[in-house]
Amino acid sequence: MDTISIKNLFSPEYETHKTYEISTEFQITKIHKQDTKNLAQGELYTLTLSDPEYSFSKFIYCKTKSSPELEIGKYINITKICPIILEAHKEKTFLIKEFSILKKDSLIIIKSPSYIEKNKLNNQNNNYSEKEDSDFDYNSENNSTYSPLKQLTTLSQDYKLLVKIISKGDTKPFRNGKGKLFSFIIMDEFGSKMQVIAFDRIADKFKDEIIENNIYEITGGYIRTSDKRYDPPDSDYKLVLNDSSVILKKNNVENNFKDKFSDPGNRFVTLREVKDSNINSIVNVLCIMGDKGETTYKETKNGSIMIRKTLS
């Protein structure tokens, strides 16, 4: 059996949907029971496991009557594990098939930074350091650890976000007149966006606190699958605020990190990058005009539009 770390599990050697014989010691730092009323085999749990280097929150285990009891702080030895990709989340998750409880004299919780696959964030920003990839420690005063928006799924628990408010909507009543909704769009340092919504009294609680272009720390609430008709096109999930939600303005972080929260959609691209852009996407180009062609008109279903071809 191989002894591996959390980081090793993400190596190409461990392919998805294959079961591997290993012998690896992790500590349970968080437990979340999933709502699986129709699961005949047992109870489904999501575990956050830690080793001395990293922690990871997407270990899944199906507990039956003969399974060992799960407790926070306990050390376990995983002997069979299967990496999987959940279709709903498009992220690597690990199904624990067999493990045993280890007896340890000390049950001090290992405080390791969350492990994040680098390839999930490389498309957003190629310039972050290895420390930023693991810690996301923007506030050294209290050594806070923040989760990037791209890491969140409906399985996410106990996350802490550091985000900029890029747009704020009005409070709107439902069509039937029963209830109201307040929403705003957040963006993290890597340019990922997500819609945040609140209903009724929760909407009243936060609608006046949220100000565009300010930076906030957000905890609490729960993650739901986004509605592509209303949510940002690049976000698969949205955050729903509830009684557990806390939103704090981060004045000290804003002074030091405001420049990092720049929308990648507003950056200038080269002419070479334009040909690789998606159809109907909006790009910004800074160039020198070399020649301007004659004005022509093209008829569309929305009317006539003017076209002028230029050489840049």
Query: CA–CA separation, 187 vs 30, rounded Å?
Result: 27
pLDDT of 128 higher than 60: no
Domain spanning 6-102, CATH class: mainly beta
Percent of the chain's residues with pLDDT above 70: 67
Which of 84-93, 100-109, 187-196 is the most confident on average? 187-196
Output the pLDDT for position 183.
92
Q: Where are the alpha helices (DSSP H) in 14-100?
A: none
When mean pLDDT is compared across 22-31, 225-234, 260-269, 283-292, the lowest value belongs to 260-269
Query: CA–CA separation, 167 vs 184, rounded Å?
Result: 6
What is the SS3 assignment for 119-164?
Answer: HHHCCCCCCCCHHHHHCCCCCCCCCCCCCCHHHCCCCCCCCEEEEE
Output the pLDDT for position 308.
67
What stretch(es) of the chain map to CATH 2.40.50.140? 6-102, 118-256
pLDDT of 116 higher than 80: no
Per-residue pLDDT band for 219 (boundaries 50, 70, 90) equals: very high
What DSSP element (H or E) covers 201?
A: helix 200-206
Output the pLDDT for position 38.
45
Kindly report whether the global pTM for this prediction surpasses the value 0.75.
Answer: no
Output the pLDDT for position 12.
85
Output the pLDDT for position 149.
86
The first and second tokens of residue 198, run together, are: 């609140």
Per-residue pLDDT band for 269 (boundaries 50, 70, 90) equals: low
Output the pLDDT for position 2.
63
Query: CA–CA separation, 153 vs 86, rounded Å?
Result: 11
The answer to whether domain 118-256 has CATH 3.40.50.2000 is no
Residue 87 near residue 66 (C-beta atoms within 8 A): no
